[in-house]
């Protein structure tokens, strides 16, 4: 029993997309590009993420911190409500 060959369309090569943060440099002015890049890094939260992942934290400790932050937020909201009334 012979099988027919299937002819597939040739795929077009995909354009490479730049991963991560990038800043164009105009007129060889690197100082301005660096300032823009620093702002992008700070706004994206990348530095905070790197600091947080620089050492291992136990999952139980992370849960405890989240719980404590939620308690604080609730406490502040209650105090704000009391001030408004």
pTM for the model: 0.47
More confident residue, 14 or 24: 24
pLDDT band, very low/low/confident/very high, at 73 (cuts 50, 70, 90):
very high
Q: How far apart are the C-alpha atoms of 34 and 11, rounded to whole Å?
A: 38
pLDDT tens-digit series, residues 43-70: 998 888 888 889 999 999 999 999 999 9
Of 47, 18, 22, 50, nearest in space to 34 by CA: 22
Domain boundaries, the chain: 25-54, 56-85
């Amino acid at each position: 029993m012979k099988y027919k060959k299937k002819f597939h369309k040739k795929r077009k090569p995909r354009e490479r997309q730049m991963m991560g943060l990038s800043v164009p440099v105009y007129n060889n002015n690197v100082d301005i590009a660096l300032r823009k890049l620093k702002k992008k890094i700070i706004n994206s939260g990348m530095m905070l993420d790197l600091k947080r992942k620089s050492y291992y934290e136990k999952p139980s400790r992370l849960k405890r911190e989240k719980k404590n932050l939620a308690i604080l937020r609730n406490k502040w909201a209650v105090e704000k409500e009391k001030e408004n009334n």
